[in-house]
Structure 1
Amino acid sequence: MILDAHGHLGPWPDFLIPDQSAGGMVTLMDLLGIEAIGISHLLAVGPDAEEGNRRAFDAAERHPGRFGVWQVYNPHQRNRLTGTGVWGVKLHPDVHECRLDDRRYDPVWELGLPVLAHGQTGSPWSDPEQFVTVARRHPDVPLLLGHAGLWPHGFARAADLVGGHPNVYLEICGSKMTGRWIARLAGLIGADRVVYGSDACFLDLRIGFGRVALAPLDDADRALIQGGNLARLLKRAL
């Protein structure tokens, strides 16, 4: 089972996204053998969490089994969240300018669902150190550190910081990630703590998939990263 942890639908003002559609994404998923991808709608990440989440649920309904929904929580809008029918919650502290360890996110942690959060080394909003703070407060909440810190100079630091917190996983999408770095992160933190994501439709789904497919990993570690780890975290949802 190949599962993509990090996907989006919809437009974004700062990026050219040639195909923002759910149908286009499913076509690529079929080509690559990806069973399902976790999506948040970019409208939800941006100005309207309620409407964007509604559109994500609509896409999941139109393509049964192919999309898991990461419902977006905006701490300023304090939009409604559900505890059923989702993969978990998506947070973007940098867009919302609210630190990941801010208490305004408490309604998210209280759900106990997996959380995928944008992580960016050196950011005042989402540096990996803040993931450590949250992991200590909520050790039973699975937390995916999106982009593994985003910048190559921060990948190893992110692995070192969260290594002692087994509820934190490194999610590896991003234009700066490479197959060699994926293998290094698996060596630093363990392949069972690394999760494949593509950031499609921001980034081409084929490129993100190819990095893991061609990374210098043994078959067992590749299987964990490509889907085994996420399947374990999402056992209820899947």
Structure 2
Amino acid sequence: MILDAHGHVGTWPDFLIPNPTAEHLVATMDRIGVDAMGISHLLAVGPDAVRGNELAMEIAERFPGRFGVWQVYNPHHRTPLAREGVWGVKLHPDVHQCRLDDPLYEPVWRLGLPVLAHGQTDSPWSDPAQFAAVAARHPRVPLIMGHTGLWPYGFGRAARLVADHPNVYLDTCGSKMTGRWIARLVELAGAERVLFGSDACFLDLRTGYGRVALAPLSDADRALVRGANLARLLGLPAGPHA
């Protein structure tokens, strides 16, 4: 089973996305064997979280079993959040310019659902140290660090900062990630703490999965990274198109 923890649909104003549609994602997923992908709509990450979340839910309904929804929470607008029918909550502290450890996110932590948050080493909004601080305050909330801090010089630090917080997971998406770094993250954090993510449709799903498929990992560790960990975290069935 292959599950992509970190995906998107839609367009972004300053980033070329040649194929922003759910139809294109599904076609690519079918081609390489990805069973399901967690998506947040880029309209929701940007100016309209409410409408963007509605669009993501509509896409999930059109393609049953292929997309899980990460509903975006804008801390300045106190976006309404669903408890059912979603994978969890998506936070982007850098776009919203609100630190991950800011009290404005308290409604998200109280909800208790898994949270996927953009992580960026040395960002004032989403440095991995903030993930460690939030994880310590909310140890029962699964927290996925998007991009493992984004920059390669910070990957190792990110893994070490959250080593003592078993509710924090590291995802592999980002144009700077490599197969060797994925294997290193498995060594540093443990295979059960690393999740495959592609950042499609921002980035190419084929490239993102190729890094995991070709990383120097044991078959058992690769199976955990490419889907078993996320299935366990979300309580998903272990079959195809779960």
Give yes or no for TM over 0.5: yes
Q: For the residues of structure 1 that align with 2:63 and 2:134, how far apart are their CA atoms?
A: 34
Tell me the CA shift for residue 210 of structure 1: 0.2
1:205 equivalent to 2:198? Answer no
Structure 1 counterpart of 2:163, one-letter code = G
1:104-129 Cα shifts (integer Å, max 9, x gaps)? 00000111100000000000000000
Could you list the runs of 5+ residues in structure 1 that have no partner in the other structure? none
**Aligned counterpart, 1:163:** 163
**Aligned counterpart, 2:125:** 125
Greater than 4 Å deviation, 4+ residue runs: none
Q: For the residues of structure 1 that align with 2:145 and 2:31, how far apart are their CA atoms?
A: 27
Q: For the residues of structure 1 that align with 2:236 and 2:230, how far apart are their CA atoms?
A: 11
Question: TM-score of the superposition, structure 2-length normalised?
Answer: 0.97
SS at match of 1:27: helix
**Aligned counterpart, 1:62:** 62
SS at match of 2:113: coil
Aligned pairs for 1:129-208 (under 5 A) are 129-208=129-208
Q: For the residues of structure 1 that align with 2:203 and 2:218, how far apart are their CA atoms?
A: 26
1:69-121 Cα shifts (integer Å, max 9, x gaps)? 00000001111001110000000000000000000000001111000000000
Identical residues among aligned pairs (%): 72
Q: For the residues of structure 1 that align with 2:60 and 2:180, how far apart are their CA atoms?
A: 33
Aligned pairs for 1:19-98 (under 5 A) are 19-98=19-98
Could you list the runs of 5+ residues in structure 2 that have no partner in the other structure? none
Q: For the residues of structure 1 that align with 2:177 and 2:212, how far apart are their CA atoms?
A: 10
Structure 1 counterpart of 2:214, one-letter code = L
Tell me the CA shift for residue 183 of structure 1: 0.2
**Aligned counterpart, 1:17:** 17
Q: For the residues of structure 2 that align with 1:172 and 1:121, how far apart are their CA atoms?
A: 14
Q: For the residues of structure 1 that align with 2:40 and 2:189, how far apart are their CA atoms?
A: 27
SS at match of 2:120: coil
Tell me the CA shift for residue 236 of structure 1: 5.8
**Alignment coverage as a number of residue pairs:** 238
1:14-50 Cα shifts (integer Å, max 9, x gaps)? 1110110000000000001000000000000000000
Structure 1 counterpart of 2:91, one-letter code = L
SS at match of 1:230: helix
1:8 equivalent to 2:8? Answer yes
Question: TM-score of the superposition, structure 1-length normalised?
Answer: 0.99
Give the RMSD, CA atoms, in angstroms: 0.9
Q: For the residues of structure 2 that align with 1:173 and 1:14, how far apart are their CA atoms?
A: 19
**Aligned counterpart, 1:116:** 116
SS at match of 1:182: helix
SS at match of 2:166: coil
Q: For the residues of structure 1 that align with 2:168 and 2:105, how far apart are their CA atoms?
A: 17
Tell me the CA shift for residue 138 of structure 1: 0.3
Tell me the CA shift for residue 142 of structure 1: 0.3
Structure 2 counterpart of 1:178, one-letter code = T
Q: For the residues of structure 2 that align with 1:14 and 1:36, how far apart are their CA atoms?
A: 27
SS at match of 2:173: coil
Q: For the residues of structure 2 that align with 1:178 and 1:208, how far apart are their CA atoms?
A: 9
Structure 2 counterpart of 1:46, one-letter code = G
Tell me the CA shift for residue 172 of structure 1: 1.1
SS at match of 2:47: coil
Q: For the residues of structure 2 that align with 1:111 and 1:76, how far apart are their CA atoms?
A: 17
Structure 2 counterpart of 1:38, one-letter code = G
Q: For the residues of structure 2 that align with 1:14 and 1:92, how far apart are their CA atoms?
A: 16
